[in-house]
């Protein structure tokens, strides 16, 4: 496996995972807003924070109206994490390794690109939005499914999985961070909506059903945080993702250092009683996790990606 190819596979998969996550995030926020009364609703602002683009957004926008925020999240050309930009980057990267990717997968990435680009109006309208986002999520699942079923599970596959899972862990931590901070929990009269918002957080991670199977019917703050951070069985929990990352790099050559950095992150995460973390402390801890994830990425790049010629 060429270093350049390994690196590109990692990014293709990471971009597609990101597009899928953003699509799911928008979809859930959309549903949440229908359930919340106007005065209580946090609108679209938190989504801009979750994907970490507030500064760039503020440069060209004065408010967080649905139209503006949505356009920015879906197709904003000045938003490197917009769905269209993620898919475009995935396609452009995939194009440089078309020889490695199974034909069907390339065709699916290519069609997804055209779909996102050609139907962007649908995504902005209230009626068309659900279908548009669903198609993106389905298509991402199909790409990962086809990869899983048709590409050799060799070193290249490790990089595909790694890119997808590190992005997933990153997104879970962001969603938890922002959503828990913007939840309105202090005032008595909004209590009934508290519940809805935690459910919405779970839904953003496709975790609602699995949460109930694992943690029971009642949705409570402490349980939700415990589940999305510490679950050993839910594939989007941060701990699950970290364990997965470790398992992936184990068979790679020269992986001692990166395994150690993942191990350290796992120990730190496992030993933390996340149930009791209140807003500020939770935020600080999530910051640490994000630094760990960045460190794991750098370790991978350092060891396996193509270095600029000396």
Q: Rule CB under 8 A: is residue 10 a binding residue for another protein?
A: no
Residue 3 CB neighbours (<10 A): 12
Q: Rule CB under 8 A: is residue 111 a binding residue for another protein?
A: yes
By residue count, the chain amounts to 310
In what helix (H) or strand (E) does residue 269 lie, and over which residues does it extend? helix 256-270
Tell me whether residue 46 or residue 163 sits nearer to another protein (CB atom): 163
Give the span between the Cα atoms of 136 and 83, in whole angstroms.
Answer: 9
| Minimal distance, residue 161 CB to another protein, in Å | 14
Q: Rule CB under 8 A: is residue 53 a binding residue for another protein?
A: no
What binding mask, one character per residue, do residues 54-93 give for another protein by CB under 8 A, x or -?
A: --------------------------------------x-
Q: Rule CB under 8 A: is residue 2 a binding residue for another protein?
A: yes
Four-CA torsion 287, 288, 293, 295, nearest 10 degrees:
120
Q: Rule CB under 8 A: is residue 142 a binding residue for another protein?
A: no
Q: Rule CB under 8 A: is residue 309 a binding residue for another protein?
A: yes
Residues 23, 133 contacting (CB under 8 angstroms): yes
For residues 222-281, which are near another protein according to CB under 8 A?
Answer: 252-253
Q: Rule CB under 8 A: is residue 150 a binding residue for another protein?
A: no
Q: Rule CB under 8 A: is residue 110 a binding residue for another protein?
A: yes
Residues 215, 229 contacting (CB under 8 angstroms): no
| First-last CA distance in the chain | 21
Piece of the chain touching another protein by CB under 8 A; list 49-57, 73-81, 100-108, 207-215: 100-108
Tell me whether residue 250 or residue 306 sits nearer to another protein (CB atom): 306
Give the span between the Cα atoms of 108 and 85, in whole angstroms.
Answer: 16
Residues 299, 261 contacting (CB under 8 angstroms): yes
Residues 39, 59, 62, 99: which binds another protein (CB under 8 A)? 99
Nearby residues of 233 by Cβ (< 8 Å), 6 or more positions away? 210, 214, 240
Contacting residues toward another protein, per CB under 8 A? 1-6, 92, 95-100, 103, 106-107, 110-111, 114, 155, 252-253, 304, 306, 309
């Amino acid at each position: 496996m060429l270093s350049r190819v390994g690196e590109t596979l990692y990014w293709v998969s990471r971009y597609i995972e990101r597009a899928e996550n953003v699509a799911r995030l928008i979809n859930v926020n959309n549903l949440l807003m229908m359930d919340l009364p106007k005065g209580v609703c946090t609108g679209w602002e938190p989504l801009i924070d979750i994907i970490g683009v507030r500064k760039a957004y503020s440069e060209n926008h004065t408010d967080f109206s649905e139209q503006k925020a949505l356009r920015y999240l879906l197709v904003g050309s000045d938003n490197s994490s917009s769905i269209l930009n993620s898919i475009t980057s995935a396609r452009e990267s995939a194009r440089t390794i078309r020889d490695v990717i199974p034909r069907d997968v390339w065709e699916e990435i290519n069609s997804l690109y055209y779909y996102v680009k050609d139907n962007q109006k649908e995504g902005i309208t209230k009626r068309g939005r659900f279908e548009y986002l669903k198609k993106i999520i389905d298509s991402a699942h199909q790409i990962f499914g086809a990869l899983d079923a048709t590409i050799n599970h060799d070193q290249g596959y490790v990089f595909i999985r790694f890119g997808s899972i590190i992005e997933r862990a990153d997104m879970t931590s962001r969603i938890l961070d922002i959503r828990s901070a913007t939840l309105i929990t202090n005032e008595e009269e909004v209590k009934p909506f508290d519940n809805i918002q935690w459910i919405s957080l779970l839904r953003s991670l496709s975790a609602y059903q699995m949460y109930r199977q694992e943690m029971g019917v009642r949705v409570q703050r402490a349980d939700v945080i415990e589940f999305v951070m510490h679950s050993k069985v839910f594939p989007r929990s941060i701990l699950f993702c970290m364990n997965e990352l470790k398992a992936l790099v184990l068979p790679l050559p020269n992986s001692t250092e990166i395994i150690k950095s993942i191990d350290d992150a796992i120990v730190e995460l496992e030993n933390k009683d996340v149930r009791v973390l209140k807003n500020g402390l939770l935020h600080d801890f999530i910051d640490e996790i994000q630094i760990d994830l960045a460190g794991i990425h750098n370790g991978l790049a350092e060891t396996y990606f193509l270095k600029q010629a000396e």
